[in-house]
Structure 1
Amino acid sequence: MLTPLLASERRPRTVSALSPLFLALLALLVSLASARAMPGPASGSLLLRGSGPNAAPVEAPRLKTDVTIEVSGPTARAVVTQAFRNTTDKWMEGTYVYPLPEDAAVDAMKLVVGDRVIVADIRERAAARRTYEAAKSAGKAAALTEQERPNVFTNAVANIGPGETVLVQIEYQQTVAVSSGTYALRVPLVVAPRYHPAPPVLDLASERPASDPVADRDRISPPVLDPSRHAPVNPVTLTVRLNAGFPVGSLRSATHQVRVTETEPDSRLIRLADGIVPADRDFELTWEPAPTAAPSLGLFRERVGGQSFVLASVTPPEADPAPRRPRDVTFVIDNSGSMAGASMRQAKASLLAALDRLSPQDRFNVIRFDDSMDVLFPDSVAADEGRLQTARTFVAGLEARGGTEMLAPLKAALADPRPEERTRVRQVVFLTDGAIGNEQQIFAAIAQGLGRSRLFMVGIGSAPNGHLMRHAAELGRGSFTAIATIDQVAERTRALFSKLESPAVTDLVATFSEEGAEVTPTPLPDLYQGEPVVLSARMPEGAGSLTITGRVGDRPWRRTLPLSAAVEGRGISKVWARANIDEAEAARITGRLSPTAADATILNLALEHKLMTRLTSLVAVDATPRRPAGTPLAEVDLPLNLPAGWDFASVFGEGAGRPVHQALPPRERRAEDIRPAPASVSLPQTAAGYERRLLLGLMLLALGLGLSRAVRMVR
């Protein structure tokens, strides 16, 4: 009897407990469940902050890139096709930053909209921008390509309709790099985030507000995806058709898996083994001649507009081994945040390998830097075992952190306390990814402070700043070596330091028998063993001969080449013009040309040869307006992948605060731009259908109250 009595006593209490409170909670849960069931953004979509402080988030357009390169002997012609897909229901303008080789002669661009192909014109930069903005306002399809650095470009594409895909196709010419018998082609695929030093408040010399060392920081700082939160974007396909001009021996890529098809003894077809890869690292391809097939002479000629353009590549003979001269070597290693992870391991391994090659007659020092710097010894010290061990311990303990303040350590390394000492060779070896925006400051410091030093740049990681590296080495009369993976450290470090220890080929002079030849570079640089003399020239006829003289070690060397033996080549005029533009830029930095004279030279060459430079741009505009009048145009900056091997938190800091890698962040366009931010954007509208859910909740609440009243009446 006890159990039924207890059960009967529990029953009304249960009903009473369920009535008002439980049913109200049930109504709330139903409402929340309905809200959670409402569709949000499409799966895999990427929301970007819209233009304007209170703009709603905008789904990022999709970008896919196809790169096709045809190598013909010493030159390569590339076609880069970028498919820009507007996945939204809005009319769109998209801007994206992308890399090209630092020596690329960009000379063509097309915009393809449906069945319409619009060929771009080369114009002065300001005029091209005005043309683009006018077309954008008028609702016309338009594209504008601008150079921000010789290896960093910006594309803006306007008035792309909802659900529409347009193509932007860019073409460029470049030379193939050669060193120690190895030919190399490098294709940048991602622009690494750059550190931008803040300007000093006051210019101490003039007592006026200081100029910004990176005045265009906003234009070279696109949003960057955190790989821990976002899948890679910007897929890439790549094909290389190699016509080497000689039987090919070994061929490989250290950066990507490739499929190689032999079409002829001197031809190969190379494709990415994975087909499509994310744009998160540079592509590198190297090949060597088959044994006994190495060419000793490369002489090519192209006729354009009644003029001849010549490209010559000649490798001097190796010098007899000479006694090693004692050296003073200063090693500079970058341990800033962008070097975190694989790059830091590669840099430390390279520097430790370099220390092992020092001899007791050498002197050395080590400088490390991030946004501060340390010099290991007060002055260069003898490379005895005790000091080398101190240096090894110092290097092994380095950790990547902070910003990339490169100027101070560079000046410290170039500072020469014994400029009159000529019995020793003075060398600076600089290991960095070069992820900075103030390249001009670095170049100016090299030009002013080089003295008798020679500067050797070692580019570390999956996406080094090739423009900084190569131009710094040229100004520093040294060489540039890229180390993309840890597997390359031993091989490329050995090759670099073998060059440093070998006698240079000096006093090089090129003379054409025909009058009026315009030769570049002038003067010819010093060379190290295994490096060819590479020069280009423009002349009226292209007849006669070319004579190159110099000294190989302590012996005079001379080579005369009949121009009648030159092979017909393609794109040599573009290569010559691009080299002259680079030389004018260098002359402006070193003071050999005034800024006005250098700009005039660059502009004339760019317009004559239809090349894109910092003073000229490519603009393509469709004639017919497309966007209906009064329809708004959404504006977004497309995000980039973080380069492979980089650590996002080490570069930008933990959380959504100000990036530690950036002294003055531009428009806060980093990780916080790639998610809806409640303080500045409208949240997704998840309350649709709230009237129905509110009515259901009220009905359940009324039912609960009715049941409660009925229970009380029963009592």
Structure 2
Amino acid sequence: MINHIAPLRPEECEPVPDAGLGALVTERGNLPLESVDVTADVAGLAAGVQVTQGFRNPFDVSLEATYIFPLPDRAAVTAFRMEADGRVVEGVLKERGQARADYDQAISEGKRAAIAEEDRPDVFTIRVGNIVPGERVTVRLTLDQPLPYEDGAATFRFPLVVAPRYIPGAPLDGERAGDGWAPDTDAVPDASRITPPVLLPGFPNPVRLSLAATIDAAGLELREVRSSLHTVVREGDTVQLQPGERLDRDFILRLAFDASTSLSLVPDAEGEEGTFALTVVPPEAPATATPKDVVLVLDRSGSMTGWKMVAARRAAARIVDTLVTGDRFAVLSFDTVVEHPDRLGAGLAEASDRNRYRAVEHLARLEARGGTEMLQPLEQAIGLLGDSSRDRVLVLVTDGQVGNEDQILDRLGARLAGVRVHTVGIDRAVNAGFLSRLTGFGKGRCELVESEDQLDEAMENIHRRIGSPLVTDLSLKGDGLDLIPGATGHLGAIYPGVPLTVHGRYRGEPSGAAVLSGLDAAGRPWEQRVAGSRVGNPAVRSIWARARLRTLEDRYAAGDHSLEEEIIALSLRYGVLCRFTAFVAVDTHVVAEGGPEHKVVQPVEFPSGWQAPPAAPPMSLMAAPAAMPAAMPAPRAAFRPAAPGSAFMPPSPASAQAEAMGMPDLLLPMPEAGAPPYGTGGSVDWMEQEKGSVPPQERLDPFRERLAEELRRLRAAASLRTAERRRHLTDLGARLAELAALHGGHAELEALAEDLTSGDPAVDVDTLWQLAVHTLETLLRRDPPAGKRRPFWKR
């Protein structure tokens, strides 16, 4: 079973003398994660990192602990180790399904075991099974991480918390993929794996955090070291956190030094092949401005509340102000619906002074609200950028906190050809993995903004990228160096102040040179030859392998499922973790007969800079049919959301009621034990009463697309006024009745249509709205076709 951890008041907690700083004891027991230690060795534009997580079993029965945590999205995880009771077990990288089977078998046999899995490029899960009472188990992850560099500074960014993500789509039937608070949906089929429970603000610090980075400028002059979000202490070449910091925001160091054009050649141990890393510092020639079409997409969803919305408005306004005569632009702001400036319309407008002023005026009025329905505005933006004769640019300003990354890439990937996509990620715990993947498809750049103080510098970088690049149409060939075709990373373009870094593979001796060719801003041929030098940095190989795996995984997400075997083979060959493989460590000793008796999912911190939820949710969000006057009939198809998987959770973003109030990202406490789920009022589900009225084999495939469209329209109208929403529901009821009749009768649709068209003023709009969303989501659920291979996250 899985025990959910309920929120605690400070007075309920007291320190445990022997459990380390931050450990808690209560009548409900301890949290299993005791410490997180990060040590990094930064050398030039790469870092070797070791992450050590300490778990302790405070219970009197054996324990399985689950921890969902972030890592840098471009980092290559190359080793995994478990240590307990004086024993050390090295992890083995295996195909994900096999690794899970080995782990499950081991803990069922009473053996101590651990498994590390990747769920997103920057979200990972560790499970440690059969921790015996009072025991401490340590797991260690080893990774190599590239450092982005521009304007004379490299950035070492290490994420420390998985922020709550918006989960769109209709809930799926069947076994859940994980133990998070969100149900799996058709848009995010592994949502329950990326939504750990969240500690409410004010909860005592449960985890001891230490982080230290040793800096080696690799022969270059290190001019300055800056920490953006944390208080640090520097001793010689080592920078470390002050004690007492929480795992609630990214750790960021900026290292100022001068990069140089270079070609590093790293031979494999076998000597027949090797890996190269090419860095090209941009030329000094200024870029020539050419007319361009720019579409700005601004996220105004509920998670952007507070300083993020202020920064996002400023960033968007700065982008509009960079446009010049001859440019055309459009501004789209979105939450659950997409809006345009009233006086500019939905198409591209000339970048005149008057139109730019109107756009900035519109941006200044925007406030955070609603859910993060990101797919529709991005599709609209791409539709506006159809003129291939002009320079086409899409800029997305967001915190990126969505769970349906794969769905978005699947729908947009092929349509981004020829469009430069730049993303501005605004958050202290930003979803950098998704934003980087999106810009990879669009040959653009991802700029991360962790505070308003960093905004001006970040916008200068974006300004340059929106302008024309210095060199385009890049190609790479060897001169005395046999480059392996298809193994070179994405070349992109060269921008002012942004050195180009390319990783790839070669055959034969580590000697020769690489020749980079392209066209400059005036369309003239441009070329640079870089001589190679042999170096002994094994991180170059793993960083290349991780980048190659991410490229293939993104192509898989965009629909090319034939790549699965190639991805697995590449991961196993180079020993780098990916979404199709997992590290598993199994001890040979039996320590707990019968497997773990207790399971706990470690809650994560509430992200720093996010607006704290209220102590209790508004009554209108909590109201249920049981609380209605006795004379008011409960709707016949009672709303029954899936029980969440944590003690504190954001309500499902599919709830149009919460979206209409602008609070889809609130963290709500669970109902009391034994109480019915929110919105049921203890009533019997009407579908259960009418069981048998619809044959189990009936499917809605003949009009599934029509139902999906109605659901999309319903969500899009969530922010309308109450009277307009009631009219929308009445019209929806009429359309559903017609649809049911065309299908030869359908009990659920007919019942919903009757509820929506009854016009009973005693039934409030919010209840009917939830009822409609839930019923349509339920009808759209479908089982996977028989014989289809299970998704890799469920094997």
Shorter-normalised TM range:
0.7 to 0.9
Distance 1:200 1:419 in 2: 38
Does residue 234 of structure 1 match 2:207?
A: yes
1:21-170 → structure 2 map (5 Å cutoff) = 42-43=13-14, 59-170=30-141
Shift of 1:410: 0.4
In 1, the alpha carbon distance for the partners of 2:15 and 2:382 equals 50
Match of 1:218 in 2: 192
Instruction: State how far apart, in whole Å, the 2-side matches of 1:453 and 1:509 are.
Output: 19
Contact between 1:73 and 1:244, CA under 8 Å: does it hold in 2? yes
Which amino acid in the other structure matches residue 357 of structure 1?
A: T
Alpha-carbon contact 2:417-2:442 (below 8 Å) kept: no
How many angstroms apart in 2 are the aligned matches of 1:665 and 1:387? 47
**1:674-713 paired onto structure 2 within 5 Å:** 678-680=672-674
2:529 pairs with 550, 554, 560, which one?
Answer: 560
Corresponding residue for residue 374 of structure 1? 339
Aligned residue number for residue 616 of structure 1: 581
Distance 1:417 1:651 in 2: 45
Aligned equivalent of 1:21: none
Cα deviation for residue 551 of structure 1 reads 2.3
2:461 to 470, 488, 495: 495
Q: Using a 3 Å threshold, how does the CA distance of structure 1 residues 514 and 495 change in structure 2: closer, same or farther?
A: closer
Q: Which residue of 2 aligns with 1:601?
A: 566
Is residue 289 of structure 2 the alignment partner of residue 295 of structure 1?
no
Taking the aligned partners of 1:294 and 1:595, their CA distance within structure 2 comes to 39
| CA–CA distance in structure 2, aligned partners of residues 176 and 475 of structure 1 | 20
Matched, 1:456 2:427: no
Select the residue among 485, 498, 505 that pairs with 1:531.
498
Structure 1 contact 521–583 (Cα < 8 Å) conserved: no
Corresponding residue to 1:635 among 577, 599, 609: 599
Give the conservation status (yes or no) of the 8 Å contact 1:656–1:671.
no
Q: How much does 1:524 deviate?
A: 2.0
Which residue in the other structure is 1:396 paired with?
364
Q: Do the aligned partners of 2:474 and 2:491 also contact (CA within 8 Å) in 1?
A: yes
Kindly state the Cα deviation for residue 100 of structure 1 after the two structures are TM-superposed. 0.6
Task: Choose which of 512, 517, 523 in structure 2 pairs with 1:549.
Answer: 517
Q: Which amino acid aligns with 2:555?
A: A
SS in 2 for 1:195: coil
Partners of 1:145 and 1:175 lie apart in 2 by: 21
Task: Tell which has more relative contact order, 1 or 2 (C-alpha 8 A, sep 6+).
Answer: 1
* Structure 1 residue 256, shift from structure 2 partner: 1.5
Map residues 258-657 of structure 1 onto 2, 5 A cutoff.
258-262=232-236, 268-272=237-241, 274-289=242-257, 294-376=259-341, 377-416=345-384, 418-420=386-388, 422=389, 424-512=390-478, 513-515=480-482, 517-518=484-485, 520-522=487-489, 524-538=491-505, 539-554=507-522, 555-563=524-532, 565-589=533-557, 594-596=560-562, 598-627=563-592, 629=593, 633-649=597-613, 654=618
CA distance in 1, matches of 2:531, 2:189: 49
- Partners of 1:428 and 1:456 within 8 A in 2: yes
Query: Is the Cα contact below 8 Å between 2:519 and 2:525 reproduced in 1?
Result: yes
CA distance in 2, matches of 1:636, 1:201: 24
Superposed CA deviations along residues 440-487 of structure 1, whole A, max 9, x for unmatched, are 122123323225321111111101111111110010111110011000
Q: Counterparts in 2 of 1:168-207, with a 5 A limit? A: 168-199=139-170
Code of the aligned partner of 1:442: I
Does the CA-based 8 Å contact 1:61-1:638 persist in structure 2? Answer: yes
Deviations 1:539-572 (A, max 9, x none): 2332332222222323422222333x23332322
Q: TM-score, normalised by structure 1?
A: 0.79
Q: 1:270 to 1:196 in 2, by over 3 A?
A: same
User: Residue 631 and residue 413 in structure 1: after superposition, are their counterparts in 2 closer, same or farther (change >3 A)?
Assistant: closer
Cα distance, 1:649 vs structure 2: 2.8
Given residue 528 of structure 1, which amino acid in structure 2 is its aligned partner? Y
SS, match of residue 309 in structure 1: strand
From the superposition, tell whether residues 387 and 419 of structure 1 become closer, same or farther in structure 2 (CA, over 3 Å).
Answer: closer
Contact (CA 8 Å) 2:648, 2:670: kept in 1 or not?
Answer: no
Question: Contact 2:287 / 2:469 at 8 angstroms: preserved in 1?
Answer: yes
Partner of 1:247: 221
Task: Please tell me the residue identity of whatever aligns with 2:402.
Answer: I
**Deviation, structure 1 residue 58:** 5.1
Task: Give the deviation of 1:619 after TM superposition.
Answer: 0.8
Maintained 8 Å contact 2:279/2:499 = yes
- Give SS of 1:280's match: coil
- Residues 669, 478 of structure 1: CA spacing in aligned structure 2 closer, same or farther, 3 A cutoff? same
Question: Counterpart of 1:183 in 2: which secondary structure?
Answer: strand
2:262 and 2:574 map into 1 onto residues whose CA distance is: 27
Whose radius of gyration is greater, 1 or 2? 1
Amino acid in structure 1 at the alignment position of 2:355: R
Cα contact 2:510–2:534 (8 A) shared by 1: no
Q: Which has the higher strand share?
A: 1
- In structure 2, relative to structure 1, the CA distance for the partners of 1:653 and 1:452 (3 Å cut) is farther
Counterpart Cα distance in 1 of 2:647 and 2:606: 11
Residue 339 of structure 1 deviates from its aligned partner by: 1.0
**Separation in 2, partners of 1:562, 1:174:** 24
Q: Deviations over 1:321-341 (max 9, x none)?
A: 344212221111111111111
TM-score scaled by length of structure 2: 0.71
**Alpha carbons of 1:353 and 1:562: their partners in 2 closer, same or farther (altered >3 Å)?**
closer
Query: Residues of 1 paired with 2:370 and 2:90: CA distance?
Result: 45
Change (3 A) 1:511 1:62: same
**Letter in structure 1 aligned against 2:673:** A
Gaps of 5+ in 2: 1-10, 17-26, 174-183, 624-639, 650-666, 676-795
Q: Is the 8 A contact 2:474 2:493 kept in 1?
A: yes
Given that 1:140 and 1:626 are in contact with CA atoms closer than 8 Å, whether structure 2 keeps it comes out as yes
**C-alpha distance in 2 between matches for 1:595 and 1:676:** 39
> By how many angstroms is 1:631 displaced?
8.0
Secondary structure of the 1:213 match is coil
In structure 2, the partner of 1:669 is 646
Deviation by residue 1:404-431 (Cα, 9 ceiling, x = unmatched): 11000000111136525x2x32211100
Q: Secondary structure at the match of 1:158?
A: strand
Query: Partner of 1:601: helix, strand, or coil?
Result: helix
Residue-by-residue CA offset, 1:373-412 (whole Å, 9 max, x unaligned): 2122221212333333322222122121221110000001
Secondary structure class of the residue paired with 1:156? strand
Q: CA deviation at 1:172?
A: 0.8
RMSD between aligned residues: 2.9
Contact 1:146 1:616 in 2 (8 A): yes
Amino acid at match of 2:214: R
Give, in whole Å, the separation in 1 of the partners of 2:436 and 2:35: 29
Counterpart amino acid of residue 71 in structure 1: V
What residue ranges of structure 1 are gaps of 5+ in the alignment? 1-39, 46-55, 203-209, 263-267, 682-715
Cα deviations by residue, 1:22-42 (Å, 9 ceiling, x for unpaired): xxxxxxxxxxxxxxxxxx965
Distance in 1 separating the partners of 2:586 and 2:298:
47
SS of 2:170's equivalent in the other structure is coil
The verdict on how the C-alpha distance between 1:239 and 1:651 changes in structure 2, with shifts beyond 3 A counting, is: farther
Change (3 A) 1:471 1:665: farther
Distance 2:578 2:382 in 1: 30
- The change in CA–CA distance for 1:579 and 1:100 in structure 2 (over 3 A counts) is same
**How far 1:211 moved relative to its partner?**
7.6
Aligned residue number for residue 686 of structure 1: none
